[in-house]
Amino acid sequence: MLCFETICVENRQFKNLSYHEARLNKTRRELWGYDDNWDLARLLEIPDTVDDRIHKCRVAYNLNIDNIRWEPYAHRDIRKIRRVYHDEIDYRYKYDNREGLNALFAQRGDADEILIIKNGLVTDSNFCNVAFFNGDRWLTPANPLLPGTQRAFLLDEGMVEPAEIRESDMTKFSRIRLFNAMVDWAHAPELDVSLIA
């Protein structure tokens, strides 16, 4: 079994590397019992082929680093979101095997992205954590499928607050934002909640 981290590289600099390192080391400890801590700044060297544009560094690992991939990042256009339902899905670690998520994403129909409802609670989209605007504050699901690194950063900065968000609560919100390690808050797609089918 492999897990992976997707790290944003902009202007040949890693973004939020300490958050990725913390999650990676927590994963290695909890899944496999390893008690050593990796220092990603020492393990990862940005190759000369990576220029100043935004790039994705994908690190797959278990006991050791299995592979590292570098590629330019292209933002996705999200105009419509479809709700999908699965009460058993488990993605609390960033598993390399995304078959369950891919099967849910295949249910999107004419939408660009999905919003996963688990046991009546709003969790995540396929690739992003989400936050909802209630007219005053941005709230993010307290129990996401995957606690993302950008989410952790936004919580630490006080830009979002955790809250239990039931599917039935969504009418209380006006906007939704989708963000992840590659899409920071400033560039996160923001849609009217009416665009969630």
Tell me the three state secondary structure of residue 110: coil
Domain ranges in the chain are 3-72, 81-195
What single-letter amino acid sits at 62? Answer: N
Give the confidence band of 51 by pLDDT, cuts at 50, 70, 90.
Answer: very high
Average confidence (pLDDT) over 145-161: 98
Q: What is the pLDDT of residue 57?
A: 98
Question: Tens of pLDDT along 20-50?
Answer: 999 999 999 999 999 999 999 999 999 999 9
Q: Of 78, 84, 181, nearest to 123 (Cα)?
A: 84
**Sheet of 65-72, strand order:** 13-14, 3-10, 55-61, 65-72
| 93-145 pLDDT tens trace | 999 999 999 999 999 999 999 999 999 999 999 999 999 999 999 999 999 99
**CATH architecture label of 81-195:** Alpha-Beta Barrel (3.20)
- CA 48 and chain centroid, separation: 27
- What number is the average pLDDT over the span 55-63? 96
Architecture of domain 3-72: 2-Layer Sandwich (3.30)
Across the chain, mean pLDDT equals 97
Predicted local distance difference test score (pLDDT) of residue 116: 98
Which pLDDT score is estimated for 117?
A: 98
